[in-house]
Amino acid sequence: MSTFTDDLTVANEWSMKALALMTHNKIVPVPANYEVWFRYASGQAVDLTEEIDRRLREGKPVDAEVTSELHQRYVSQTALADAAMETGDKLGTEIDKILKLVQSAAGDNSALGSSVRAASEGLTNKSSPTDVRRVVEAIMSASVEMESRSKALELRLTETKSELSALQTNLSKARNEARTDGLTGVNNRKAFDELLAQEIAHAGAEGTQLCLIMGDIDHFKAFNDTWGHRTGDQVLRLVASCLKGGAREVDHVARYGGEEFAVIMPGISTERAEKLANSIREAVQARELVKRSTGETLGRVTMSLGISHFRAGDNAGSLIERADGCLYTAKRSGRNRVISEDSKVAPVAKAS
């Protein structure tokens, strides 16, 4: 069994590692940033650890901006998920109360029947009018009591209905917030992972088509460095808007991380997915950016996109990996273009 001293030693090691990583990446150790890197250093937040490791493998920066985005996705969103669970627990408690009320009412009905039977058992064809009157009075008394209890039950059920309605609203809101990217309003990474797994399972079971688009804003870091993060956020919202506008109703648009976006497209051919992806790319390129605070024209941004299609035996990892490979080829081939697995473009080998 670990002691307090053992736990403190381990926590200190994680803390030192977190601070060293923040120093290396030039990140100020404010509480929110420290929380992200402490979780990474401890290795206990699996999704967060995988995301940071992936970015490091690909040579992408894990700076203060990315750390803030990771905090929103993996720390704040976890708190929202916990809130949804808490609301769900309260909802379950209210339902239990209703069941007990109904069971109580059923018990009262049973008690009424027993009272009637008990009062009636003494009656025979030789019973006097007085005997009959006593039985009738007993039945009426039991009926009045049951009516009073029924009104109390009706009142409590009305109150509980109102409480349930409020809880259902809160639960729905918490669940939506836990699956939505706070900045852009599209699905977040958690929702993306769940939706992709569902669509892969459906495509595998039904033999239907499925395409995945992975998109990345070209030169986004340079744009951020030049115009600032607030303007960068404006760009992210613009791109998300173009993705939602260009996708079909059945598609799932998500912010995959940082400046990366994804679109899950069920029941579509690669050729059709390419056309839609190019429409989205053109819509992004056509939007002229204006700095809201000054009205200054900032030019335009472009986007590169890669597309993979479902194959028998695919899982989320293999589908994402191939779409990422196509995206990488689009970047290395000049950016501002769409490359799919069926494109007649020789793949560019990734640098080791």
Tokens of 9: 């030693």
Nearby residues of 274 by Cβ (< 8 Å), 6 or more positions away: 307, 338, 340, 342, 343
The pLDDT, as a whole number, for residue 85 is 53
Nearby residues of 36 by Cβ (< 8 Å), 6 or more positions away: 48, 67, 70, 71, 74, 75
Task: Report the interhelical angle of 229-246 vs 270-286 (nearest 10°).
Answer: 140
> 189 near 72, Cβ under 8 Å?
no
The pLDDT, as a whole number, for residue 199 is 96
The pLDDT, as a whole number, for residue 346 is 47
Greatest distance between any 2 Cα atoms in the chain: 108
Strand partners, 255: 261
Residue 133 to residues 112, 119, 123, 138, Cα–Cα distance (Å): 18, 11, 11, 9
Spatial separation of the C-alpha atoms in residues 113 and 181, rounded to whole Å: 58
Q: Is the pLDDT score of 216 beyond 90?
A: yes
Query: The domain 189-340: what is its CATH number?
Result: 3.30.70.270
Q: Is 50 a catalytic residue?
A: no
From 51, 69, 199, 259, active-site residue: 259
> 48 near 70, Cβ under 8 Å?
yes
> 214 near 320, Cβ under 8 Å?
yes
Strand partners, 308: 212
The 10s digit of each residue's pLDDT in 247-286 is 999 999 999 988 999 999 999 999 999 999 999 999 999 9
* 352 pLDDT tier (thresholds 50, 70, 90): very low
* 310 pLDDT tier (thresholds 50, 70, 90): very high
Whole-model pTM: value is 0.58
The pLDDT, as a whole number, for residue 151 is 65
Q: Is the pLDDT score of 340 beyond 90?
A: yes
The conformational region for residue 309 under phi > 0 = left, psi -120 to 50 = alpha, else beta, is beta
Spatial separation of the C-alpha atoms in residues 191 and 197, rounded to whole Å: 10
> 217 near 285, Cβ under 8 Å?
no
